[in-house]
Each structure stands twice: as structure tokens, then as C-alpha cells.
Amino acid sequence: MATRGLAIAAALATGVDGARIARKKGTSMETESSPDCFSPFDKKALLSLNACSSAQETVAKLDKFGCYILDEPRVYQMGCTEAEVVCGEGAGELEKEGSAQIVTADAGAFWRGSSGVANTFSEGGLGMASDFYSEWRDLESKYARMRAAVEASGGAARLEVAGQSLQGRDMYIVRFRGEGYVHGGPRVFLTFNLHGREWITGMAGIYAVEKLVEKLKEDPSYLAGTEVVMMPMANPDGFLFSTTTNRMHRKNMANVSCSSNPGVDLNRNFDSHWASGGSSNSACSDVYHGPSAMSEVESQVIAGVMKEAPMTVYIDTHSYTQLVISSPGWSRTRDARHTEFRNIGASIVKAIQGSHGLKFTEGPTAATLYVAAGITIDYATDRGALGICLELRPPRYGGGGFAPNKREILPSAEETFAGILASIDYAKDPSSVPPAPTPAPSPPWFFR
């Protein structure tokens, strides 16, 4: 993967240095000379890969043209189909030979127009009547909104600093502790935006804080005997970099031996079957698992919150593909609590579908999506929780991938919160949730 790292470096450098784009601001067109987070992808083609018989050969071919693979696991473990890549050259040749289809000749301009950059928000007050969720928001605007929600909670929520990121930014948690909660009682912990580029998850995290505050104002007894802890921004350094410099940055900002793609993938860095599948030892890889398990300070901060008290449910929120997936990620074997996972998963799917009608796919991570070791949900499951990953909007095909249209922000946040409430209800009383329906048996292979 080293040659690919050099190719990506050249591609991204060319994009930043050559950014001279005409952009629409308000009602007029004006020339913008300063680069933004989409600049590394300006005048580079966005392609969708076709099915391939050999992922290794396909990657070698993409390396040759200096292409950047937006989601490596989909190429290596899902036969390439529909995986997206950005190529500075060779796009026409790849399309001509049938390896890929060109989505747009200018990925930067395409994403800038269809999704948009992260904006500040200065309007005072809370409430869904404001337009906070009509745009992507920057880090400080999200933190300001979170603080305002906590201040308006009347004591139902408490804002705490769980630790600092590698670059020294506070990693906040919002703690909701119901009356009568004791150590060992029902406890739900949620993290959002562990991957920098997954902006839609961070917006859902702020929304969840606001809406749970509202719910507790209406019904102070809702969390009786229960604790809910939310970390709306689990990777502040990586998120900030994705808003200012590289929209597709996934990892944290660790100083590794790859200047073109710094950082460690925090969701491959946890001490649960670390480096045993679905990750890479190449520092240039988007799924670089780091030099050792728990090497990253962000991983340590998150683990510290997990270890404060026993967890009943842990949810890590990601995007995209509309999935509700659970442990195990490291293996396709069944977890000992398979039935419990299917029951809580089915309840979350039902709640999400009841919000805007979208049906999410549910199942174990490795069997439903792909093998991924060293991930947060397996680490939480090892510690007694039901580890769940929500993969939010958009769908796998044609929805905008990691840069969806900003119109998706609010409905995604609404349905995510509905799923969160279902998980809290399950944690409070698993018997209140009907068992998941038994799936129909699969037909013999010769009928498939």
C-alpha cells in the first residue's frame, strides 16, 4: 500500500495547489482563491467501481492512476461493486475497459454543490424551529449548541470533559442520570462522529442531546434508575480537518509515516481482536489500525467512559448504508448473545422505520457488512454491553456516500433519535421488547 500512499499524496497536493474555483455565494458568482475541504478533489473524476474478480488487481490498477479509494473495505471484502474512488487521471481508461463508471468529472465541484461545506451558526436559543439542522455545522457551532441544550435542561443533563484529543481539544460527554440510578443499573453509552468525514453522525449526536433534554422536561421520570451518556463528537481533530482541509478524512490526526493521509483509524484501534482482520498495518491506509491496540488517546478516553460503570447497551454511530449492526465484527461466528442482539436490533429497526419509513438492514457486523476487528462495539461487548453500530443515511447506492445532501440532516437525526429511544427502552427493560421474528429459512443454494 506504500505506492498508493505516494500516489494519493501527489493527487491531493495537486488538488490543493490548483484550487481556483468559481463558486456560488448567495445570488452572485465570485472567484474564490482560498482552498476548502473539497479542493483536494477538484477536477478529479469520481468513479463507481463495477464488480471485480480480484480486488488486489483492481487496487493495483487504481494505484497506477493515483486514485483514492473512499472506502477500502468495500473493495477488498465486497467485490468492488459500487465502491467509490477519485482519480486524477485514467478515469476514461477505467470506464472504457469496464472497471468503473464515471459519476462526475469533477468530484470537488460535485460534492461542493450537492452537499456543501460546514458553516457557523450564531442564532441564539434552541428548538427545532431554528435552521441549525438545515446546514452542516462546524465544530464550535456544534459545541455551542450542545452547551445551550445542557444549560436549558434544568439539571437533567450535565456537561463533562472526559479527556482531551491528541491535539488537545476537549472531548465532551453529556450525562443524563435518572433518579435512583446506582452503579450497575441500566446504562447506555453512545458515541458519534468517530470518523471525521461522517458529518451526518455528529449532527445526529447534537440533535439527540437536544431531544433527550426535551423528553426529560416533559417526563422527568423517563430515565428513572437509568443513566445515558452521549459523546456527540468522538474525533474532534479528525472532524475539524475534514471541514477545513480534506472532506474525506476518516482517521484521527496522529503523526504517522504518511503525510498524505495522517492518523489512525480509531474504529480499528480498540483492544478487541486488534489487527486480526479488516484493518491494515499501512499508515497510508484509511483502516490503519495504529502501532498497537489502544495507542490513540481518543480510544483511551472513550474506553475510560465505558469503564466508569457496567454498560447495558453501547451504540457507536457511523455512516453510511442504513444498517443496524452488532457484534461480532471480528468474526462471522455467532455471538453468545445472538438472540439478544437480534431482539434489540429489531426494535431499533422498527423505531427508525416508524420515523420516516426507511427500513434499515439488521444483523451481525461481519456477516452483514464485512469483517472489522479492533472496533468499539466488540470492545464494549467484551465488557458486558450489547455493542451496536448504527450506519445512518444515505443508502449504499446513489445517495451521496460520505457527503450526502444537507436535506438528509434533519430526517436522519430524527430517525436516529427514534432508534436511540428504542435502545434506551430495551436497556431499561428487555422484556418490554417483543422478540425478533424468526427469519424464514434460506432456500437451497441451487434455487438462489
Would you tell me how many other CB atoms lie within 10 Å of the CB of residue 211? 19
As a whole number of angstroms, the distance between CA 411 and CA 290 comes to 35
- The residue from 198, 227, 391, 408 that is catalytic is 391
Per DSSP bridges, beta strands 170-177 and 100-104 are unpaired
In 3-state terms, what secondary structure has residue 290? Answer: coil
Contact 47, 92 (CB under 8 A): no
Half-sphere exposure of 215 (CA within 13 A, CB side): 17
Half-sphere exposure of 432 (CA within 13 A, CB side): 8
Sheet with 313-319, edge to edge strand ranges = 157-164, 170-177, 227-231, 187-192, 313-319, 386-392, 323-326, 361-364
DSSP states along 87-113: ESS-HHHHHHTTSEEEEES-HHHHHHH
Q: Which residues pair with 25 in a beta bridge?
A: 28
As a whole number of angstroms, the distance between CA 35 and CA 13 comes to 11
Can you list the positions of beta strands (E) in 274-414?
313-319, 323-326, 361-364, 386-392
Q: Is 391 a catalytic residue?
A: yes
As a whole number of angstroms, the distance between CA 232 and CA 180 comes to 25
As a whole number of angstroms, the distance between CA 199 and CA 141 comes to 13
As a whole number of angstroms, the distance between CA 61 and CA 94 comes to 9
As a whole number of angstroms, the distance between CA 196 and CA 255 comes to 16
Residues annotated as catalytic are 391
